[in-house]
Chain A
Amino acid sequence: MPQNEYIEQHIKKHGRRLDYEERKRKKEAREGHRIAKEAQTLKGWKAKQFAKKRYSEKVAMKKKIKAHQESKVKGPSTPAEESGEALPTYLLDRQNDNVAKAISSSIKQKRLEKADKFSVPLPKVKGISEEEMFKVIKTGKKNNKAWKRMITKHTFVGEGFTRRPVKMERIIRPSALRQKKANVTHPELKVTVFLPILGVKKNPQSPMYTQLGVLTKGTIIEVNVSELGLVTAGGKVVWGKYAQITNEPDRDGCVNAVLLV
């Protein structure tokens, strides 16, 4: 490896060898012979690699030749490949964000294909014991009562929730672990959007956790997709869609989910 640009500098200062161009031309001219020789003599893995490289080069060259030949003929002879994204004149020059649209049409496509309704991306989850989920809180004057529990996982608490009076509140959902929004990924389009959570539909661990709104891996949540602008066949705006949580929110501090389509 040259440590500096001394080669270039030398060339600039003194020029190249007098027979440089000639040698270069000859080297290039012999290139074909060299490749042919290699093709005949290489063995084993190297030969395989060489053949693969040579094959792709030839395909590229053939394509290029064909393209050149076609460009000489005036216009495409056959109708252009159907792209499926034909637009009327009044939408042609607009850059419309088709992401939401694409999502909606792919959802419809999926429905048409009669995909299994009940399959979810994460079919099985590891069980969580009650000890892990709840932390016992000692109360009472002597700290000897132990009927209070605090949830150690992230939770979704609906809007307008007020905590019950202290002596009535059996289960505490710490406000520091409450989540309102989730990073929802569309599985096919690989688009991730930060969407508000509407509710917890099902926590696979226990129906009680569903009620409490505990967010663990595998939980089905409902998210607000209204900003994507999806529309049903009847012409109404779709706004709630289900998604499944893919990470352990208490490890990452955020909720990641995949949209169920």
Chain B
Amino acid sequence: MATVIPPPSKKQKRQAQQVQEVPLIPKDLPNILIKFEASDTGESVGGSIRVPGAITEKQLEELLNQIQGTSDDPTPYTFALLNKNDKDESKTEMIDIKDDLYTSVLKPQIKTTEDFMTLVYTPRAIFKVKPVTRSSSAIAGHGSTILCCQFSPNNSSRMCSGAGDSTARIWDCNTHTPVATLSGHTNWVLCVSYSPCGTMIATGSMDNTVRLWEADTGKPLGKALTGHGKWITSLTWEPLHLVKVGSSPRLASASKDSTIKVWDTSSRVCELTMSGHTNSVSCIKWSGSNIIYSGSHDKTIKAWDISARGKCIQTLKSHGHWINHLALSTDYVIRKGGFDHTSNKSSIKDLSPEELRTRAIKEYEKVAKLSGSIHERVVTASDDFTMYLWEPLKSGKPICRMTGHQKLVNHVSFSPDGRFIVSSSFDNSIKIWDGLKGNFIGTLRGHVAPVYQTAWSADNRLLVSSSKDTTLKVWDIRTKKLVVDLPGHADEVFAVDWSLDGKKVASGGKDKMIRIWSH
């Protein structure tokens, strides 16, 4: 059943034959001066320190924990060397320290032992997500193809899926039983989305309407939100930290009729309608700085400022064909809202909205802040086989054009910490790119048919992909290798999601079965 790994190429074989250098660290390495700097705030910690030149990543971590007084409850960190270029500010780059300082910095002669080094540290996720390895259940229930699925933001016990039988269903993933059937739509349910506060579910359908449901019971909240002239293609919720005190988060919906509508979810009326695209809007995302980014089949990306009543503040044109998908570097943290991996079923009620808000702001700033200021990057995937990385609030020019795919790119996503971008394409491959600069990092090959979607684990280490070849595959980002192959579906897999606490993966597709995967 497992995917056969292709035989090594001629180049690889030749490389394997060559004598490999044994990584040896010279014994007479002098001490070097380093300084720690936080990646998010840019503050330096502990002044300059003299350390041995062959210090390992683990030792650096221990040292930093000691300096910060957290050695009894150590936080894992990753380190990177800040290689400043005095002449040209833009050429400043970060060099990751892989195993030890000697092999990653001194040996490639990036710096000498006499130089003063600034090490930038980023906290890694403090918990480790185990790769899913088995299908813990296949739940039948939907009468037709499953088109979308999403876990609730608070924990992995609830999941909602939408299908071609015009219903959405809420599932209890602990007992593998249905909780509620959300029926009301009259055509395929194309997208489902949990609100970041975890109390509401929005579903968008082929029948041109959006419906809201109570996440807990599955009861409809009012009637359908009508207004769109064609089917709904994408839904996005207002980030929790932007929600006005005392009100519920707003919802934005994009439609094939080339408009975007913002809905007030408590009074259920359309607040804003943004029309400016000339073709179907394929994807929208509500960013943490209160801007909606929309990608469209008219080859443009538009940024709409919601605080200025939906004014279009930027139109990004570079793509040569449809925009299929776009992702923000803060997508994951916005979706999480104020919840984290420790929150449980009752934390929706236990935590007050204010508390959730403050936690959401804190979490958001942790991811969005880069050396003291908020940066949100957008990556767009297109039918022209390329992707662009943008920072729309800074300039209308892309940071980087990412080429390499040989067929259209269907899905892109940033890793939860925003350090990696992963793109899945119809050329059967998944590619990993640097999340800051857009440099190419590696390709994950293994699927034998178009890859439809990918989902990240919360600790940035693993990735799960769904494909037309009926399998899911779990990949390790560090080694860029396949970890687990998950066959089981009988037909193509359209939707996949990894729960925010990392315990479960849900998938659904043409075989009408929801599958829950766990370790």
Contact = CB atoms under 8 A, between A and B. Distances in A.
Question: Per DSSP, are chain B's interface residues mostly helix, strand or loop, or mixed?
Answer: loop
Contact of B234 (A80, A89, A93, A105): A89
10 contacts: A79-B185, A80-B166, A85-B145, A87-B188, A88-B495, A89-B231, A90-B452, A235-B470, A236-B469, A237-B448
B271 interface: no
A67 interface: no
A71 interface: no
B191 interface: yes
A102 B519 CA distance: 34
Given A89-B233, A89-B282, A235-B471, A75 B186 contact: yes
Contacts of A105: 491, 510
A85 to B, nearest CB: 8
Nearest to A86: B164
Question: Per DSSP, are chain A's interface residues mostly helix, strand or loop, or mixed?
Answer: loop
Contacts of B468: 231
Contacts of A89: 147, 190-191, 231, 233-234, 282
A79 B448 contact: no
Contact of A231 (B186, B190, B469): B469
Interface in A86-101: 86-93
A176 to B, nearest CB: 39
Contacts of A77: 186
Interface of A: 75-80, 82-93, 105, 108, 229, 231-237
A105 B511 CA distance: 10
B163 A235 contact: no
Contacts of A229: 449
Contacts of B487: 233-235
A83 B145 CA distance: 10
Contacts of B231: 89, 92
Nearest to B469: A235
Contacts of B144: 82, 84, 86
Contacts of B469: 231, 235-237
B187 A87 contact: no
B1 interface: yes
B297 interface: yes
Interface string B139-166: 0000111011000000000000001111
Contact of B188 (A86, A108, A231, A236): A86
B490 interface: yes
A232 B231 CA distance: 33
B495 A79 contact: no
Given A88-B148, A90-B325, A93-B280, A80 B186 contact: yes
Interface in B165-198: 165-166, 183, 185-188, 190-191
B324 interface: yes
B339 interface: no
Contacts of B145: 84-87
Interface string B398-433: 000000000000110000000000000000000000
Given A80-B187, A87-B145, A231-B449, A93 B491 contact: no
